[in-house]
Amino acid sequence: CLKVNGYSMRVELSLVCVALMCVFKQTSSCLMISEVNCDNPKLDDQEFVELYYEGTNPTSLDGYTLVFYNGNSDMAYRVIDLSGHHTDHRGFFIVGSSELTPRPAIFLPLNSIQNGPDAIALYGPNWAPVAEGGLVSGVGLLDAVVYTSRRSVDGADGLASVLTPGSVPYVEDETALEGDESIQRCWQSENLWSFYTGPPTPAWVNHCPPPTPAEVWINEVNLGGSDQSGHVELSVGMATGSFSLVLYDVTTDLISTSQAFIAKEPGIFAVPVKTTSLSGLQSAALALYKGPISDFPKDGPLSHKQPIDAFVYGDSAHMPSDNLTETLIPGRKPFILTESFLTAGLHVSRCGVAEWTRDPGLFVTRARSPGKPNDCVWFQSCPLNMTSFTESGRIQPPIHSDVDFLLNEINTDSPGGAEDFIELWHPSGFRMSLDFIWLVLINGQTGKVYYELELNGSYTDDDGYFLIGSSKVGPDIRISTDTIQNGPDAIVLYRSKSPPSKEGQNIPKSGLLDAVVYRTRWSDEKMSELTEALTPGQLPLLEDISALPADETLSRCGAQRLNLSAFRVTSPTPRKQNNCPSKPTIPPPPEGLVINEWSKTSVVIANDSHAGACMHSKCRFLNKINSNSNTSHLKCFSVSDCAQEEFAVLLELLCNCGISSLRVKGVNVSCEAGRLYAQGSVLAVSDQQRERISEILSDNKLLCSAEQELQVHGAGSSVTLQVGLVLVVPLLFTLGGCYTICLLVHQKVRTDQFVFVFCMKVSVMMPRS
């Protein structure tokens, strides 16, 4: 018995249960909860729960059990054994009020189904049912609907964590329709189902909304047959302009033919398609693009421009290439043809109610309906809602909270592009639904979206990770090699019910969850637009291909959302905890020295018995800013070869402007005759960074004395900082002695070349003996 967010829950999992679940998933027949009406106007005398069996009907319900749960206690308030009953000849079975028409098979007293936050779960067959008053259980669970009301949106989290883990409870809005409304299950795509609010339909097909994508989409495909010709029906919503319908030959991934289409008004329009040039009809791909037909010539290569919609098909012996599916329908599967295709041709209609496109799983084999709405049946598959059984068997956390998905690790420039990936992570660290999550890639040169991917219907793994990338990294969604640009660009995460690019501006802002703006060396052009829109006041990240001997990634090492300083350059760790340094801003001390004490105002260095603090040939410094007085505490002692990194630490702690060891590789640091020397070039990646460093180095608090003046020299054009640094450390062993360190900085900037001469007052403690 475990407690989650104050709720006591009993979860029983067994290998037998998981084994049965696998057998159940392999069969096409299933029993599901298809509709629930729990809140009627005035007296609740029209309540009901509708079950539907997809298979041969009538069918026996022996061994099945309906359990009604209260969301306030996570306990069963009603248990109904369905043994001895059966579905009707159309597959429906009703449990409901005696006043309901048609008459239910099992009667419920008035006002029996609670309004929410609550849940109704279906168990069986042949499982020991949950007893009335028992705690919520996942044992034997076949299907469930967890629902709540607008008055208590997060009250069903405890139930959802066991019955529908990773998915939010459905909100039943009693004001959604005039009169009464119910919660109705509708088929989205493949084995994906969802709930919608509609007028009650007990023992009848649900009122599922027709699909309405934003612009234009493929509605019906009719290809093949004896004449090897056909047409594609396009549904036009709000789109206008020129489009191109392209047919690809999957044996070559080249363009077989293309057809122009101009959208002028909403409606359903047929576009002719010739298939005579295809090497085979058993497999092909259709893609709809924005733009003129001249962009897609015959025998042209597979376009890496994102299509608006796509349909890819094949049979068991002729499947499209991975490259084609990853480019046209990332994250989805091709449509599989039946054996009758060669004689009857391909006649498929879009019947899934999902709003997304580029998904062949939305289509089913149906009769033609030229110029008219598609002749779709209500059901096309089983929900197979088995998500309560995860590999780890852990209880899921409540999902109504302030946490949401983050960009966790990004590899934009791997050797050869073979291991590029983007890793998403949910801070709960559990399996979570990615419904309404969009991944958007924005070009830093143009400020426009160049790649957009919806993640509806996907789930993270049991640790909260979700991977999008090339096939070599084993991703959840494969994308073609080199899809992710090296920079300057941005990778952005949104929560939205429609494509963020449809917002009407180049850089969408509505629903923004997280963003990483990144660049390569010497590529700061046009970055200000991205940073101002996504991460204002911050500098773009640099994924330096020379940072590590092998590959490297930008890895999240802090929890701050939309904060680029939370990222570090590390080695790749897809689906694992990031390789974050334990103390990313201060490197470890050299061999022979350990940090013995640390406080806000001082650093105390302890020396071991092997060597004294000043007996090595090289020097090392360790810096910490005093949070109370803004003075710098600097200690020079024996050193390893990490002097450049230490110099970067000093500079970053002073300016807090994104300087790292990668940007001071041109600086030579040495220690001679008791003096610490640093001279060379520090790369400033933007005007903001250059100005911030200039501001710090010219701060009046750091000036050495009145006789040392600011000098201005000739003009320059580089964005690098030419830094000459001399730190003089006189060794004083008298009580009350102090060290004065003078820092000479020579900075070359775009317009003028400045020389700053200043000193930092430091407070130094001797090593303990």
Over residues 313-326, the pLDDT tens digits come to 988 888 898 889 99
CB 139 within 8 A of CB 124: no
pLDDT of residue 666: 63
What SS3 class is residue 418? coil
Using only the alpha carbons of the chain, give its radius of gyration.
33
Q: What are phi and psi of 682, to 5 degrees?
A: -110, 125
Tell me what pLDDT residue 425 has: 95
CA 517 to CA 353: how far, in whole Å? 35
What is the structure's pLDDT at 603? 31
Closest to 3 in 3D by CA, of 101, 135, 147: 135
| Positions of the chain with pLDDT lower than 50, given as ranges | 1-27, 385-397, 400, 583-642, 673-674, 700-769
- Longest CA span, the chain: 102
Distance, in Å, from the CA atom of 64 to the CA atom of 85, rounded to the nearest integer, reads: 10
d(CA 656, CA 237): 50
Closest CA to 353 of 217, 189, 497, 493: 189
- pLDDT tens-digit map of 435-473: 889 999 999 888 889 999 999 888 899 899 999 998 888
Task: Give how far the C-alpha of residue 254 lies from the chain's centroid of Cα atoms, to the nearest Å.
Answer: 31
Give the whole-angstrom CA distance, residue 532 versus residue 505: 14
C-alpha–C-alpha distance, residues 288 and 242, integer Å: 11
* pTM (2 d.p.): 0.67
Measure the CA–CA gap between 92 and 104, rounded to whole angstroms: 10
Query: What is the model's pLDDT at position 492?
Result: 97
Q: What pLDDT does residue 524 have?
A: 57
Please check whether residue 101 is in contact with residue 204, taking contact to mean a CB–CB distance below 8 angstroms. no
Alpha-carbon distance of 558 to 234, in angstroms, equals 46
Give the per-residue pLDDT at 736.
35
According to the model, what pLDDT value does residue 416 have?
63
What does DSSP say about strands 632-638 and 619-625: parallel, antiparallel, or unpaired? antiparallel
Q: What are the φ and ψ backbone dihedral angles of 13, each rounded to 5 degrees? A: -125, 145
Specify the residue for token string 């997304």.
356
Query: How high is the pLDDT of residue 269?
Result: 93
Give the model's pLDDT for residue 89: 94
Which 8-state DSSP code applies to residue 161?
Answer: H
